[in-house]
Structures are given as C-alpha cells and as structure tokens.
Amino acid sequence: MAGKDYYNVLGIKRNASEREVKQAYRRLARKHHPDVNPGDQSAEAKFKEINEAHEVLSDKEKRKKYDQFGDRWQHADQSAKAGGQSGPFRDFGQGSGQSFRFEEGDLNSVFGDLFQGFRTGSSSRRVRPRRGRDIDSPVEVTLEEAYHGTNRILNLQAEEPCSGCGGTGRIQNVPCSVCRGSGVVARLKRLEVKIPSGVKDRSRVRIAGKGEPGHAGGNSGDLYLVISVKPHRLFERKGDDLHVEVAVPLTVAVLGGEAQVPTPKGELALKIPPETQNGRAFRLAKQGMPNLGNPSRGDLLARVKVVLPTKLSAEEQKLFEQLSQLRPICEVKR
C-alpha cells in the first residue's frame, strides 16, 4: 500500500480520535468482509486495505510514525540506527515529501545491515497476551419472558484471531496477508444465550468468555446482555412486585364472594370479603416477579375495581330505588 492514504481508506480526518478510527473500521469491515461478499475479489482487496489502515492508525506509535514519515514509516527506526541525517539515509524522516538519496558506499552492505536489524528485532520482540474487549448487546424481552426466563439467538460482529498467523500478525517475519499484520479478522458469530428469570430494565447479564477473543493467547472478553423489558397491558412492575387491577361486580363487592386474579403463570381465585371498597388492594405473597440471582419472589398486589351494572331491568331498577330509600344519599361518608 505504498503511497496510499490510510486516512482516506477509512474515510476519516487526520485528527480523528481512536474511537472514530475504530468505528470507521468496524463499519467498513462489515460492508466489505469476504463472508458478506462471497466471490467478490474487489471487496476482498478493499477488506485487506481496510485492515492494513486500521492496523496502523489504531496503534499510537505506528500512527505517530506514519504521520511523520508517510508510507516509509516502517523503516523509520532502521534509518535512525543506520546513521540518521549523517548516514547513508540522509534527509530521511523529514516527512513524506523529502528526497531519499544515498551517499557513496556499498548498497549491499547497507541493506544487509538494515534487514539484519529487521530479523534481530523480530526474533527478540515478544508479543504480550492481551485480553479481548467486553461486548454489550441490547436484548428486549416480554414480562412473561422476564418471569420465566428465555433463550435468544444473537448474531454478533466480533474480531477473532487470524487463523493464518495464529493471531500473531506475522508469518516468518512477514506481515500476514490475511489480516494485514493486525492478528485479527472480523467475523459474524451466531450465539445462543440464556436469559435468567427475574431480569428487569437495565439488567446486565454476563456471558463469560463470549466477548472479543484475546490477542496472542490472551483470555477472551465477556458478553453483556443489556436487558429492556416491554410494558405489559395488565401488569405494572415496581421492583419485584407486580400491580394489577381486578374487576369485581358490585354485588360481589357488597355481599362478598370470589374474583379471578391474573398472574404471569395463570389465574388465581381471590376471596372478596363483604363490603369491599373500590380501590382496595389485596397482597398475594410471593406471586410477583422472581428476584434475579435469588430464590425469593416479589408479591402481587391486586387492586379492586368495582364494576357497576348497566342496562338495568325494571325489577333491578326498582330494587336500587328501594335501596336508596333505605340508604339516603346524605348517609354516604365524605
């Protein structure tokens, strides 16, 4: 890629932040990945360019050298060792616009020393293991799924160690042609995960070792499921408690009886005592949501909603008139 502009390859400005470099790389890698464009050689070539540009611009030291020396950044250290401004590489290192000229001397000797420096540096430099990054993945569930627990199939974009070079980025001291020396390649990963019962909004469920793979033998990062629970048409959740309205006929509220209370696992019969007032709440112990990571459960609070009769028959209307005579309006407590 001699002479190519790495910033232009990623479509970013020269003062782009590390985050902007990473975002641009991920966006372009997904678009041009060979797995997404099977048989497209131009996409494969573009993917290699993207990886090479990312490998340089995501590394502070390499980026600093690239900004200073341009496409000759890889030889900057060797030119300094070979004599700097007074050696055979005079005028090297003043920017990509400077000339590159030799003084008198044995070229074979010069390049022999230079490549010997490459070999020595490569053999003595040890790649340190590095842990992979953690990944956040948003997951939306229903209240019933949060109550019982559920499974999800996720399609994740992740970086994996390059199989061609074993994640080292080099093959026999030469940058790997597959990952362009980065040691990693972008892959689409299909993963089935278990969401435990009791999750709530903003719960973070850790899936150990399912984040981005480590580098050079380092441990993989973790995957975190960031949960959001959809609103429910019947239940209102407050912590681990559930609140629900229960329709109770007027006659049952006055005389007593039973009402059916909905719960996430089915209906329960609730005993309604005589003269139950509208809005009264009954607590059903341990009928609420499970507690995440704990065997305990919340409660279910059933609030009575008295349903007044409509379309009264003549006889029913007569009975209410008799009741009104027995219970004058002035006796109603305010």
Residue 319: inside a domain: yes
The answer to whether residues 242 and 160 belong to one domain is no
Written as one letter, the residue type at 269 is A
| Calpha distance 22→33 (Å, rounded) | 16
Query: Considering 79, 102, 124, which residue would you say is the last residue of a domain?
Result: 124
The answer to whether residues 139 and 219 belong to one domain is yes
The answer to whether residues 219 and 252 belong to one domain is no
Residue 278: inside a domain: yes
The answer to whether residues 17 and 81 belong to one domain is yes
Q: Would you state the pLDDT for residue 1? A: 41
**Residue-level pLDDT, tens digit, the chain, 334 residues:** 446 788 999 999 999 999 899 889 888 988 887 777 777 888 888 888 888 888 889 988 889 888 888 777 777 666 555 554 444 444 444 444 443 443 434 444 434 444 444 444 444 456 688 888 898 999 999 999 999 999 999 988 766 777 777 667 777 677 887 787 777 777 777 899 999 999 999 999 999 998 887 777 788 899 999 999 999 999 999 999 999 999 999 999 999 999 999 999 999 999 999 999 999 999 999 999 999 888 899 999 999 999 999 999 999 999 998 988 887 765 555 4
CB distance 98 to 91 below 8 Å: yes
The answer to whether residues 210 and 242 belong to one domain is no
CA distances from 293 to 161, 169, 230, 240 (A): 34, 42, 21, 12
Residue 1: inside a domain: no
* Residue 324 domain boundaries: 236-331
The answer to whether residues 205 and 240 belong to one domain is no
Residue 249: give its domain's CATH number.
Answer: 2.60.260.20
Q: What is the per-residue burial (b if ≥16 Cβ within 10 Å, else e) of 25-49?
A: beebbeebbbeeeeeeeebeebbbb
The answer to whether residues 71 and 145 belong to one domain is no
Q: Would you state the pLDDT for residue 217? A: 76
CA distances from 101 to 30, 73, 90 (A): 42, 16, 7
Residue 158: inside a domain: yes
CA distances from 73 to 99, 114, 185, 334 (A): 14, 14, 23, 87
The answer to whether residues 49 and 116 belong to one domain is yes
H, E, C per residue of the chain: CCCCCHHHHHCCCCCCCHHHHHHHHHHHHHHHCCCCCCCCHHHHHHHHHHHHHHHHHCCHHHHHHHHHHHHHHHHHHHHHHCCHHHCCCCCCCCCCCCCCCCCCCCHHHHHHHHHHHHHHHHHHCCCCCECCCCEEEEEEECHHHHHHCEEEEEEEEEEEECCCCCCCCEECCEECCCCCCCCEEEEEEEEEEEECCCCCCCCEEEECCCCCCCECCCCCCCEEEEEEECCCCCCEEECCEEEEEEEEEHHHHHHCEEEEEEECCEEEEEEECCCCCCCCEEEECCCCCEECCEEEECCEEEEEEEECCCCCCHHHHHHHHHHHHHCCHHHCCC
The answer to whether residues 100 and 188 belong to one domain is no
Residue 129: inside a domain: no
The answer to whether residues 192 and 260 belong to one domain is no
Residue 260: inside a domain: yes
Count of structural domains within the chain: 3
Q: Would you state the pLDDT for residue 213? A: 79
The answer to whether residues 118 and 139 belong to one domain is no
Query: Considering 229, 256, 275, which residue would you say is the last residue of a domain?
Result: 229
Written as one letter, the residue type at 238 is K
pTM of the predicted model as reported, rounded to 2 decimal places: 0.55
Residue 112: give its domain's CATH number.
Answer: 1.10.287.110
The answer to whether residues 28 and 111 belong to one domain is yes
Residue 130: inside a domain: no
| Calpha distance 6→51 (Å, rounded) | 10
Residue 242: inside a domain: yes
Query: Considering 201, 229, 257, which residue would you say is the last residue of a domain?
Result: 229
